[in-house]
Amino acid sequence: MNKKIITISREFGSGGRTIGKQLAEKLGIPCYDKELIEKLAEQTGLAKKYIEEQGEYAPSTSPFSYAFVGRGVNGLSISDYLWNEQRKKIQELAQKEACVIVGRCADYVLRDRKDVLNVFIHAPEADRARRIVEVYGETDTEPKKRLREKDKKRAINYKYYTEQEWGKADNYHLTLDSSLFGIEGCVDLLYHILTDKGQD
């Protein structure tokens, strides 16, 4: 398959970030996730924590989240500025080298390129709830509520900047249930698709 850029979109708790990282390692190419946040922090001067949250999540779970953010004289908010810088950086990285890019609407940003494989990772809510407790630990918020809030903010952010539905199969080339295939199974399947070499 003649695809050199792989974008990984994912439901919270589905293991998409881990799948992206392990796939990149197996392919011998960079994975941009936390690394992208660091590059944007250097470029914009914004705090890494702010970029991590605002670069992928809406300010709240309200559909009107972006209607209440402050805007400068040019009509742009800090979120708009970050979106523009993030978009430019993703395009720059895709132009520079083969890589895996996790989240941040990369599937939409690179929609006009023919060498991109867009993947969406999902899993049943109960399995994702168990996983976030194992990976991130307990909080005062019940796990399933944490999942729903995170995914709703992602969906609102995606809708606002792309005018498309986050998680809708039509927006991706491939969707995988990480609960069914497992993390390593998803990695192996994607590796097989991308290289036609099958499992090692």
pTM given for the model: 0.87
The pLDDT of residue 156 is 92
- Dump pLDDT digits (tens) for 38-96: 888 888 888 888 888 777 877 766 666 665 555 554 667 788 889 999 999 999 999 99
Q: Where are the beta strands (DSSP E) in the chain?
A: 5-10, 31-32, 99-102, 116-122, 174-177
End-to-end CA gap in the chain: 18
* Of 2, 31, 3, 1, residue with least CA distance to 17: 31
Could you give the domains of the chain?
A: 5-195 (3.40.50.300)
Residue of 35 and 190 predicted with greater confidence: 190
Burial call 78-117: b when 16+ CB within 10 Å, e when fewer: ebbebbebbbebbeebbeeebbbbbbbbbbbbbeeeeebb
